[in-house]
């Protein structure tokens, strides 16, 4: 049995969309957090994933 990697995205800039998309599709990783200086941006990015 393979344990899934727990991942977090730090920063919600342009490249974060690629990271979030990958993590959403990955069977080997679970998104456990998103953070950014802007709470609104972080919340929005977390809801997309």
Distance of CA 49 to the CA centre of its chain: 6
pLDDT digits (tens, 9 = 90+) for 24-40: 999 999 999 999 999 99
Compute the chain's Rg from CA coordinates: 11
Q: What is the C-alpha separation between 1 and 11, in angstroms, rounded?
A: 31
> Does residue 1 surpass a pLDDT of 90?
no
Contact present, 6 and 32 (Cβ < 8 Å): yes
Segment 37-46 shows an average pLDDT of 92
- In sequence order, what are the residues at sequence separation of 6 or more whose Cβ sits closer than 8 angstroms to the Cβ of residue 28? 2, 4, 5
Segment 17-30 shows an average pLDDT of 94
Give the pLDDT band of residue 21 (cuts 50, 70, 90).
very high
Residue 36's pLDDT is: 96
């Amino acid at each position: 049995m393979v344990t899934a990697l727990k991942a977090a995205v730090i920063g919600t800039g342009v490249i974060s969309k690629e990271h979030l998309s990958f993590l959403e599709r990955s069977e080997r990783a679970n998104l456990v957090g998103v953070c950014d200086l802007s709470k609104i941006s972080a919340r929005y990015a977390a809801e997309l994933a």
